[in-house]
Amino acid sequence: MDSVGVAAAAPDAGPGPAWQSKCPWGAPSTTSISCSLADVMSEQLAKELQLEEENAAFPEVVAAAEGPFITGENIDTSSDLMLAQMLQMEFDREYDAQLRREEKKINGDSKVSISFENYRKVHPYDSDSSEDEVDWQDTRHDPYRADKPTTTPRRGFIGKGKDITTKHDEVVCGRKNTARMENFAPEFQVGDGIGMDLKLSNQVFNALKQHAYSEERRSARLHEKKEHSTAEKAVDPKTRLLLYKMVNSGMLETITGCISTGKESVVFHAYGGKSATEDKVIPPECAIKVFKTTLNEFKNRDKYIKDDYRFKDRFSKLNPRKIIRMWAEKEMHNLTRMQNAGIPCPQVVILKKHVLVMSFIGQDQVPAPKLKDVTLSNEDMKKAYYQVLNMMQQLYRECNLVHADLSEYNMLWHDGKVWLIDVSQSVEPTHPHGLEFLFRDCRNVSQFFQKGGVAEALNERELFNAVSGLNITADNEVDFQAEIEALEKMNEDHVQNHGKKLSTFSSDGDPPIYDE
Ligand code: ADP
Ligand code: MN
């Protein structure tokens, strides 16, 4: 430092610069804050800088320990949302702190360093604090910037005679510039420059600053993109926390992205991880169906669940959030029944609240096409038809279920066969509208395959009888539907009189099995 002439003008004791108040051997603090070129060059300041640099090395650790995220007394914990968000942030910060420690450990003092920036959860430019919304140059602590305008001598220089130093002094500016690099974002690799007596020219500093700044923006943009392209956007913080925990526990390897955004659910693709219990195997690829917790869309679906006697008693006692969970639960139960009957369908992995994880039908992140989107050969089309017919019969007889939303939209073509999905609304045939739902399913299936050129395809009424084993003889749709409703009413009356439903509708024996 002695090469600098101005160093001779060491700071006086007494009311002095701000740095003195923090300096362990400095004079007791005074309120006066000023900063002169002399201060800039002092040994103490250099030490203080060092200290600050060390402190700055783990800002997140401090934030995690002292931040308001769990320790604060006056947080509003009445809000579930808040709580979930706080937990999430706490998780993320802890994770990042650990990441920084590891980064530091690996890099040590090396001039060449690796950055874990991309793995960080809380992005440095994504902080909630308003600080980061303002240009970092203006807000971050700059030891060289006085809090009130410095009284730079009008004459533009200090010192006397041969010790005169102007504000343009190369060495002073160079050091100043070097120290200022500290203000760059923490990820901006500046090597050991800050710790050395390095004199950066204004030109180099400005170029670096420019680069750091554009990097910052680029990074922020990238992060934004990431945020809006994956799970993050489509789900609320509570759901995000659930998903996060699934990944964190290792059950899921990664959640890669969204496959479908419907009115009632959002479906994501994920790579399976490892199960905590040995007996359970997580499929290599999973589909995560998140039932939307915005309630409006579910209102018109009440009829599927409140009259399903399996759920009826519980339904009336539940709040809307719990009802959404019942949809997920219902889908799980129905899938399990289908799985047991050997019907090709997703296999349930786990149910957590309104989030259902199942095996993925498809490969390498590409979901199997819906029947409506795939062009099948005549032969495959015919094969698909008979398979669907059989599945409908199995569903009805072995699973005691009616799909209730069966169409080419909820059938996937994979591995040369049809897979049934989307069974959250499926009901038992004795549901007050169960047979109507079945008839609608039959109409969709019949029309699809007839239009698809399958000459053998039964019409909707024949299909209905074939599936249900009932023998409704009406030869037109109106009468047919009237008979269906009459049957449903009979069942309801039976409930009124006997307090329980018929286990099945009376039929003329088992439904005939149609096969190729
Ligand atoms: P929605 O009620 O929104 O129709 P679905 O269960 O039908 O919900 O899922 C929506 C879409 O997500 C499906 O059409 C299908 O493309 C995809 N999907 C759902 N489950 C799976 C799965 N297990 N494997 C592959 N794709 C799936
Ligand atoms: Mn669907």
**Could you tell me if 423 and 403 are in contact, meaning their C-beta atoms sit under 8 angstroms apart?**
yes
Best mutation site among 260, 261, 300, 335 for ligand 1, i.e. most ligand atoms within 8 A of its Cβ? 260
Where is the domain boundary, 171, 203, 225?
225
CA of 342 to the centre of ligand 2 (A): 21
Count, residues in the chain: 516
Do residues 384 and 472 share a domain? yes
Instruction: State the Cα–Cα distance between residues 79 and 235, nearest whole angstrom.
Output: 17
Which is the catalytic residue, given 92, 96, 132, 405? 405
Instruction: State the Cα–Cα distance between residues 32 and 165, nearest whole angstrom.
Output: 24
Q: What angle do CA 479, 481, 485 make, to 5 degrees?
A: 115
CA of 22 to the centre of ligand 1 (A): 61
Do residues 284 and 172 share a domain? no
CATH code, 452: 1.10.510.10
Contacts of 369 by beta carbon, 8 Å cutoff, 6+ apart: 412, 413
**169 has catalytic annotation:** no
Where is the domain boundary, 350, 367, 384?
367
Q: Is 370 a pocket residue for ligand 1 (Cβ < 6 Å)? A: yes
> Does residue 51 lie in a domain region?
no
Q: Is 45 exposed, middle or buried (0-12, 13-18, 19+ CB in 10 A)?
A: buried
The residue segments making up the domain with residue 207 are 146-225
Q: Atom 18 of ligand 1 has which residue's CA nearest to it?
A: 267
Tell me how many domains the chain contains: 3
> Does residue 126 lie in a domain region?
no
Task: Report percent pLDDT > 70 for the chain.
Answer: 53
Best mutation site among 261, 267, 286 for ligand 1, i.e. most ligand atoms within 8 A of its Cβ? 267
Do residues 357 and 276 share a domain? yes
CATH code, 353: 3.30.200.20
Do residues 191 and 306 share a domain? no
> Distance from first CA to last CA of the chain, Å, rounded?
94
Where is the domain boundary, 332, 349, 367?
367
> Does residue 81 lie in a domain region?
no
Do residues 325 and 253 share a domain? yes
Paired sense of beta strands 252-261 and 265-272, if any:
antiparallel
In this prediction, residue 138 carries a pLDDT of: 27
In this structure, which ligand is nearest to the CA of 331? 1
Burial code of 476-495, b = ≥16 C-beta within 10 A, e = fewer? Answer: eeeebbebbeebbeebeeee
Instruction: State the Cα–Cα distance between residues 328 and 274, nearest whole angstrom.
Output: 23
Do residues 327 and 270 share a domain? yes
**pLDDT tens digit sequence for 150-202:** 444 555 556 666 666 555 666 665 666 666 665 555 555 555 555 566 666 77
In this structure, which ligand is nearest to the CA of 289? 1
> Does residue 161 lie in a domain region?
yes
Instruction: State the Cα–Cα distance between residues 399 and 111, nearest whole angstrom.
Output: 66
> Does residue 7 lie in a domain region?
no
Do residues 249 and 161 share a domain? no
Which atom belonging to ligand 1 lies closest to the Cα atom of 346? 23
Q: Is 346 a pocket residue for ligand 1 (Cβ < 6 Å)? A: yes
State both tokens at 197: 């007596």
Do residues 192 and 315 share a domain? no
Instruction: State the Cα–Cα distance between residues 171 and 270, nearest whole angstrom.
Output: 56
Whole-number Cα distances in Å, 242 to 84, 121, 356: 9, 16, 11
CA of 289 to the centre of ligand 2 (A): 11
Q: Is 260 a pocket residue for ligand 1 (Cβ < 6 Å)? A: yes
Instruction: State the Cα–Cα distance between residues 331 and 353, nearest whole angstrom.
Output: 12
In this prediction, residue 354 carries a pLDDT of: 95
Q: pLDDT tens digits, the chain, 516 residues: what are they?
A: 444 444 444 444 444 444 444 545 555 544 444 444 454 445 555 555 555 554 544 433 333 333 222 222 333 334 455 455 556 666 676 777 788 888 788 887 777 777 766 666 654 333 332 222 222 222 233 333 344 444 445 555 566 666 665 556 666 656 666 666 655 555 555 555 555 666 667 777 677 677 666 666 665 555 544 444 344 456 888 899 999 999 999 999 999 999 999 888 999 999 999 988 888 899 999 999 999 865 554 555 666 666 676 766 666 566 777 888 999 999 999 999 999 999 999 999 999 999 999 999 999 999 999 999 999 999 999 999 999 999 999 999 999 999 999 999 999 999 999 999 999 999 999 999 999 999 999 999 999 999 999 999 999 999 999 999 999 999 999 999 999 999 999 988 888 888 766 666 755 444 434 443
Q: Is 289 a pocket residue for ligand 1 (Cβ < 6 Å)? A: yes
Do residues 388 and 488 share a domain? yes
Q: Is 36 a pocket residue for ligand 1 (Cβ < 6 Å)? A: no
In this prediction, residue 60 carries a pLDDT of: 36
> Does residue 82 lie in a domain region?
no
Q: Is 362 a pocket residue for ligand 1 (Cβ < 6 Å)? A: yes
**pLDDT tens digit sequence for 333-356:** 999 999 999 999 999 999 999 999
In this prediction, residue 58 carries a pLDDT of: 40
DSSP state of 215: H
In this structure, which ligand is nearest to the CA of 425? 1
Do residues 358 and 414 share a domain? no
> Does residue 392 lie in a domain region?
yes
> Does residue 15 lie in a domain region?
no
In this prediction, residue 94 carries a pLDDT of: 72
Q: Atom 26 of ligand 1 has which residue's CA nearest to it?
A: 367
Which residue's entry shows tokens 């920084």? 100
Instruction: State the Cα–Cα distance between residues 498 and 502, nearest whole angstrom.
Output: 9
Q: Atom 11 of ligand 1 has which residue's CA nearest to it?
A: 260
422: left (phi over 0), alpha (psi -120 to 50) or beta: left
Q: Is 265 a pocket residue for ligand 1 (Cβ < 6 Å)? A: yes
